Chains A and B, each alone.
Chain A
Amino acid sequence: MSLALDPGFFRQETFRDDFTFANSQEAIRRFPFPFDRDQYMYAVNIEQHMPGPEKHATHFPIDIDEHYVAEMADRERVLAEDPLRCQSLPHMITAEWDLLELLMTSMARDYPAWFALGREGDRWHWINRPMGIEEHFTFGDVATLPYGPMEYITRQCQGDFCLLDQRGDNLWLDSGIVTSQADWSLDFDLGMNFIEWHAPVPRAHDMGVFERALKFLLNLQLGRPIRRLNWTMTINPRLDTSPENYHRWGIDRTTVTPDNVGDKVHLRVELQALWRLPRSNAIVFSIRCYLIKMREVATVPKWARRLHRVLRDLPDDLADYKGLTNYRGMTVDWLSRHDDGAPTSPGFYPD
């Protein structure tokens, strides 16, 4: 059997060192722009994870795009350097298998040209053509896979993943693989509950956001996944902005100049989705990271206008928490050249 396929679709690019990452025209059009109005504040911004527009990042429950192969290579490097980025407490093994099933069935169903899954009882046969992987294994038997089930499948699926155990009216972060995070540590947060791991976030506790969100999640139903968008900004298209490596990448925030804003400054959007899992009753939380350069944002006039206004008016405590303080001014100035003051249409999508 040949695992070959059109090699042109998946970009050869890097998220470190020479930072060759960029978005195609198509990737810009499908970008999950996170602002549906000209201002931003924390809210319980949860909606059903229903298929979005054709080709958009939300069209399929698990989104595989042109950055897939390069992102998986970056994840492999992160894990090689720091195995603590993937951890799972022993009681989460059933949830790990649930996750493997969810990802394999979604990927094979929605991207049949790239992935295939054969199942005969517990004997499963997985094919991943873009990464050239073929595996025969026994569902439920960890000895038949080269890694634990969560690590095995998430080394082949874009996005970070957390598995949350539900007990005592709370959710517990007891398992996860986190290599493209916006400055938080799985190793540190492992074992915390929903309120504890959100502790550093300003304002939202007092606004009641987390209390209401938690209540909602505790009632999450099987087969009715939900999603939300979160955002921050990153200098250079670096996926691994971990606290672990902050002493290495933090300095990037001082390298922005008025001339390089368009290429250096990236909007970083997380498309977060949550599913109830069938066997374990755990919840999977996926954090799919999308990066876009200011220069790329500026190709969509509505987005450039809107991002200018959002960033300009963002409260200082949120800007500080997101780490924007060193370069916000320059970015706002740069974006202001793309804001003629015209009104923007409601909603996320380009005009």
Chain B
Amino acid sequence: MPEIKSRPKWGKLDPAKQASAHLVCAERGAIDAVARAFAGRPEVIGKTILVHVAEGDAGAPASLAGVAYHPLPSRATALTAFRAHLGRAKMGTQLHLAGSEAFLNEASALAHGCGVVGDGLTTELCGDPARRVQCVHCKGMMDDVSASPVACRHCGVNLMVRDHYSRRLGAFMGVCVDAEAPGDLPAAASF
């Protein structure tokens, strides 16, 4: 089955040296991907802001010394901070996102909504393939859905998670799985 064409292809973090500044948001262990892409590049590190979803403040890894480091305790607070930094970023700032599928879903939609497209954004998937899913019936969002089908946490409808993906919403579509045979659910399959 070829990859569905509405789904973004995540790549590798790739800071461009001609960018005027870099704004990075990384989730937990995905900081290692940031270190791989940025370490040993002082000309890039010197103009980088790094927002990190992290428990406690262990500080930035030594190889990233010199970045403006902002640890935040949850995805939601980190994305709020990320958006605030984005709001005051200068022209030519490049964005970089590293984390789980659901993190990239939400964070890239935020970047997309701020008009960041194409080479202005680099991404790297690290770890958890759980998806961000929107229930098409009640429009409620669910973070970190690890298998399909899943009961909607908002309206309770049993949802099949489709591969069809909206970059604007930053979510896969969840649609009723048992409408034509109520209660008849296929075995759950993990992503």
Contacts and interface: CB of A to CB of B under 8 A. Distances in A.
Contact of B134 (A188, A206, A326): A188
20 contacts: A188-B136, A188-B166, A190-B168, A191-B167, A192-B166, A192-B167, A196-B167, A199-B5, A199-B164, A199-B165, A200-B4, A200-B6, A205-B2, A205-B5, A206-B2, A243-B137, A246-B136, A246-B175, A250-B180, A251-B180
B176 interface: yes
B157 interface: yes
- 6 closest pairs, A vs B, by CB? A250-B179, A191-B168, A199-B6, A247-B176, A196-B6, A199-B5
Contacts of A244: 136-137
A107 to B, nearest CB: 32
B139 interface: yes
A193 to B, nearest CB: 9
A128 B136 CA distance: 35
A200 B181 contact: no
Interface residues of B, number: 25
Most buried by A among B164, B165, B182: B164
Given A191-B167, A192-B166, A200-B164, A247 B5 contact: no
Interface in B153-174: 157, 162-169, 173
A243 B179 contact: no
A197 B175 CA distance: 16
A243 B6 CA distance: 17
A195 interface: yes
Given A188-B166, A192-B167, A199-B4, A247 B181 contact: no
B180 A247 contact: no
A27 B164 CA distance: 37
Interface string B135-161: 011010000000000000000010000
Contacts of B164: 188, 199-200
Given A191-B166, A200-B162, A244-B136, A253 B180 contact: yes
Nearest to A198: B5
Contacts of B167: 191-192, 196
A198 B6 CA distance: 8
Nearest to A200: B164
